[in-house]
Amino acid sequence: MSNFSIDFGLACLIGALVAFAFGAGAGIYGGVKADRRWVDSARRAVYAAAALLIVCVVTLEAAFLRSDFSLALVADHSSTTTPTLYKMTALWGSQGGSLLLWAFVLSIASSGVLFATRHKHREVVPWATAVLCGLGLFFCGLMLLAGGANPFERMSPVPAEGLGLNPLLRHPAMAIHPPMLYSGYVLFSIPFAFAIGALIARRLDASWIRSTRRFALLAWIFLSVGILLGAGWSYVELGWGGYWGWDPVENASLMPWLVGTAFLHSIMVQERRGMLKVWNVSLICATFALALLGTFLVRSGILQSIHAFGESTVGTPLLVLIAVVLGGSTALIVSRLSYLRAERRVESMASREAVFLVNNVLLVGLAVIVFWGTFFPLISEAITGERSTLAGPWFDRYVTPLAILLVLFTGIGPLLAWRKISAGRALRLFGPPTAFAGVVLVALLLFTESASEPGALVMFTCAAFAFAGLVGEFVRGASAQRALTGGAWPVSLGRVVVRNRRRYGGYIVHTGIILAFVSIAASSSFQDSDDVRMLPGDSTNVGDYELTYVQPTAFRDLEEQRLTFGSIVEVRRDGELVETLTPSRNYYSSSSAGTVRSFFEGEATSEVGRSGGAGEDFWTAMRPDLTEPAIDELITTSDREIDRLLIPEELPDPSTPGGQAEMRQIAEARSVAQGQIITELQERFEDGQIPVDFRINVNPLVIWIWIGGAIAVIGGLIAAWPTPPARRRRVSDVYAARLAKDLNRA
Amino acid sequence: MDPEKKRKIRLVVALSAAVLLATALVYTSFSASTEAKSPSELLADAPAGSVEAYGKVVSEETMPDGSREFVIADPEDASATVPVTYEGQVPDPFREGRDVIVTGEMVNGTLVAEKDTLITKCPSKFSDEAEDDPNIVIDDSL
C-alpha cells in the first residue's frame, strides 16, 4: 500500500512537471499567435499542476503521519516519537520538501491569479502564464533531476526508526516560520510574472499592477510574519537574548521585504499619476531576484552563517535562474524604455508622490546597505584577496539614520496631497504633529535618560511626529464620515476604514511599523545585561532588578532521552517579589549508546525564564557548568565503568534475530547503569555542587516589536481585503464620470 | 527657472549624493571589517589587530571564573589548531564538533576573543550528521 502511494506521488510530481512544461509552451504559442484557445489551455495546465502537487503534498504528509521510513525524507526528518505537529511540519525541513513547498505554493497562487484574470488583460496573461509555468517547471525539474532533492527518494534497507527532528527546532514558531518565508518569496513571483508579461506585450499602463497588487501585499504579509516568527524564536529559544544578529540568512529575508515594501508604495504613484514606470518594473524584478537569492543563500553555504545548511546540489541551478531573471528582465526593460515614459512629472517636492519617491530611495538604500554588508566577505575577497566580514555595529551605523528618516517620511507622506500642497494647508496639517513631537522630545529629555542615546531620542521624536500625523488622519477621516452620515465616533471611524480599506489599512500598517521601530530602538539602546556565575542562595542586581538563585532542579525524560537541569529563581524589584521564574537547560542524548557523556555531546536547548509586560522584559537563561573537574571526572570514570562492565568481548551479530535480542539486552542494561549515574549527577546538581552561569537581560519595550508587527500584519490584511463588488462599481462609475469630464475638456 | 534645467540640477544633486554615500559605504566597510581566517592561516601569519577566526571546536573547558577555553581546528586540515579564550554569552548549539566563528586578537599564539562574539552554527534539519544516527547502537562508544 505504502509503496503504491509513494509511486503515485512521484508520478504526480512528474505529471506536474509535464503540465508546467505544456503550460509554458502553450502560453508562449498563444501569446505569439494571439490565440485564446492555447492560452486557456495553458491556464488549465496550471490548474492541473496545482491539483497534482496537492496530491504530492498529501501523499508525503500521509507518509510522515504513518512514519513510513521507507521514504528517505521521513526517515531523515521524523521518528515515531516526534509529536504530530512536528511530523506534519517536518516536510519543509528537507531540501526536497521545501522545493516541493515552493512549487506547491506557486501552483496554488498562479491558479488563483490566472482564474481571477481569465477574462482580462488578453495580451499580458499569455506571457505571465508562461513565466509562472517556467518557474514551476524549474522547481519540479530541480526536484526530479538534482541529486538529493527528490522528496520521493526511497531508503533501503528500511530503518526501524527515523532520525527525528533537531530539538532546537521543536518550537511552534519554527514549525511555521519556513513556510511563511517561502510563501512570501513565492508570492512575489506573481507580480513579477505579470510585469514581465506587460513588458513583453508592451501593455505598460497600471493594469498589471491592479491585478497583482493583492498578491504583492500578501507576499509582504507572509514575509513579515516569517521574519517576526524567526526573531521571536531567536529571542525565546536560542539562549542569547537577541532577536536580530545581521546574519546572512536573516538579511536574505530582509532584502526582498525592503524592496517589496518600496514596490508597494511606488505602484500607488503609477496607479494615480502614471509615473515611476521603469522604477516599478525594476523594483519587482529586483524583489523577485532577491527572493530567489534568499533561497540560494540558505542552500549554497557560500557565506558563513549561523544557519549551516551544508553543501547542496541546488545552489548552481538557482544561481543560473537568478542570472536569467536579472539578465532577462534588464534586457526587456531596456528594450521597452520608450513604452515606459512617465505620463506626468513631479510638480512639487511638497507632494505625496515626491515623498513616496524619497521613501523608495530610503528603502532601496537600506536594501543596498544590507546587500553590501551581507556579501562583503565575497566582495572583499574579490578585491583584496582577503575575506573580511562586517559585524553588527557596521550595519547599525548605516541602518539607524536611514530607519529614522524612514519613520519621519512615514509621518510626512500621508499628510501631503497628490500633485502639490499649499503652504497654508501644509501648516495646518503639520502643525499639530510637530507640536506633539516637540512635547514628547522635551518630556523625554526631562523625565528619562534617553539623552544618552541620541539615535534613540531622535527615533522616538520622529515616531511621535509620525504617530500624531496618523492619529490626525484617522480623526479627519472619521469626522468627515460623521459629518456625512452622522452617528457615533467609533462607528464613523469603523465605517471610514471599511470604506477606504487600502488607505486606512496602510495607515494601520504604518502605526504597527512605527511601534516596532520604537521598540527596536528602545530595546537595543537601553538594555541592561549581565553574565553571572552563581551557586544556590546567591543574588545579583541587573538594572532595577535583583535575581536570587533559590534552588536547582533536575529531571530526566527517558522517552525523549532528555536531561533537564533547571533552576528556581526569584526576581525582585525594589525589594518586592515580582515573579518566580524557572529557566532551564535541556540536554538531548546524541546517541542511544548509553554513555552519560552522550547527553552533553548532543543538542542542548534553553528554556528561557521571562517575566514582563508592556514596559520591560526580564529575561534570563541558565547554563550549568558541567566542565567542573569533579563533575567531568564523574562522567568520564562512570562511562568507562559502564563500557567495562556491559560490553561483551564478542559483539552479537545484529543481522540475526538472536543477535538483535542480545543487543537490545545490552542497550537496556547500559540504560539502567546510565540512569544511576545520572541520578548521582542530578543529586549533585540539586545539592548545589555545580555552579550555574546565568545570562540576565532587562529589555525595555521589547514585546512591542511583535505587537507592532501583528498590528502591521492586520493592517496589511485590511488593505488586501477585496472590496465588495457593489462598491467597486460605484468607484468605477465615479472614474467613468471623471474620465468623461476630462475627455470633454480636452 | 526653466523646468528642464531644474530637473537636470536635481538629477546632478541626487547623483552626487548617491556617489558620496556609496564612497562612504565602501570606505567604512573596508576600515570596519575584520579579516576572516582559518586556523592554518592564523598559524602561518598571525595578523595584528582584530581577526575573525572560524573552525571546528575540538575541545572545550570552562574556567573557574566562568570564562571559556576551547580549541578550534581548521575545517580543511584538522591538524592546524588554535586555542581560544572567550568570555561572554555562549550560544545554545555550542559544543565539541560544532563550527564556530569568533572574533578576537592573536596574543602569543592564542586567540583572545572579544566578549560576546562567539557564533555557533546551527546544525539544521538540512544537514545529515551520521553521528546523530540512533541506529548505530554501540559503535560510536567503543
Residue A183: band (very low, low, confident or very high) from pLDDT cuts 50, 70, 90: very high
Residue B110 and residue A154: Cα distance in Å, rounded? 48
**Beta carbons of A604 and B7 less than 8 Å apart:** no
Contact A306 B120 (CB under 8 A): yes
Which 8-state DSSP code applies to residue A415?
G
For chain A, what percent of residues have pLDDT higher than 90?
Answer: 37
Which contacts (CB < 8 Å, 24+ apart) does range A46-49 have? A46/A19, A46/A20, A46/A107, A46/A110, A46/A111, A46/A114, A46/A129, A46/A132, A46/A133, A46/A136, A47/A111, A47/A115, A48/A15, A48/A16, A48/A19, A49/A15, A49/A16, A49/A19, A49/A20, A49/A23, A49/A107, A49/A133, A49/A136
Kindly report which listed range (A318-322, A332-336, A601-605) carries the lowest average pLDDT score.
Answer: A601-605
Span A441-491, pLDDT tens digits: 999 998 888 888 888 999 999 999 999 999 999 998 898 888 888 788 888
Chain A residue numbers with beta carbons less than 8 Å from the beta carbon of B33 are 376, 380, 388-390, 394
Identify from B10, B76, B122, B139 which residue to disrupt to test chain A contact, counting A C-beta atoms within 10 A and taking the largest count: B122
CA distance B107 to chain A (A): 20
CA dihedral A13, A127, A716, A343 (to 10 degrees): 170
Q: Can you give the pLDDT at residue A392?
A: 81
Interchain proximity B65–A94, CB inside 8 Å:
no
The pLDDT, as a whole number, for residue B136 is 27
Report CB contact under 8 Å: A308, B89: no
The pLDDT of residue B1 is 62
Q: Output the pTM of the full model.
A: 0.87
Using pLDDT thresholds of 50, 70 and 90, give the confidence band for residue A725: low
Give the pLDDT score at A468: 94
Nearest to A243 by CA among A251, A252, A235: A235
Report d(CA A258, CA B79) in Å as an integer.
Answer: 44
A-chain CB neighbours of B44 within 8 Å are: none
Q: Which residues of A touch B89 (CB under 8 A)?
A: 239-241, 531, 695
Q: Do B36 and A377 touch (CB under 8 A)?
A: yes
pLDDT at A70: 84
Query: Quick one: pLDDT at residue B138?
Result: 27
Record the cell numbers describing residue A235, joined without a space: 529571542
* Contacts with A669 from chain B: Cβ below 8 Å: none
Q: Is the pLDDT of residue A1 over 50?
A: no
Span A678-682, mean pLDDT?
A: 83
How many other CB atoms sit within 10 Å of the CB of residue B102? 22
pLDDT of residue A592: 57
Best of A309, A562, A639 to disrupt the B interface (most B CBs within 10 Å) is A309
Tell me the C-alpha distance between A323 and A329, whole Å.
10
Residue type, A35: D
Contact (CB<8Å) A365/B25: no
Q: What is the pLDDT of residues B23-80, one digit of tens each?
A: 888 888 888 888 888 888 888 887 778 888 888 888 877 776 667 888 888 888 888 8
Where do runs of H (alpha helix) occur along A149-245?
A: 172-187, 189-201, 207-237
| Partner-chain contact A398 B25, CB within 8 Å | yes
A527-544: average pLDDT: 88
Query: Given an 8 Å threshold on Cβ–Cβ distance, is B89 in contact with A90?
Result: no
Please report which confidence band the pLDDT of residue A284 belongs to, taking 50, 70 and 90 as the band edges: very high
Does residue B139 have a pLDDT over 50?
A: no
ipTM associated with this complex: 0.76
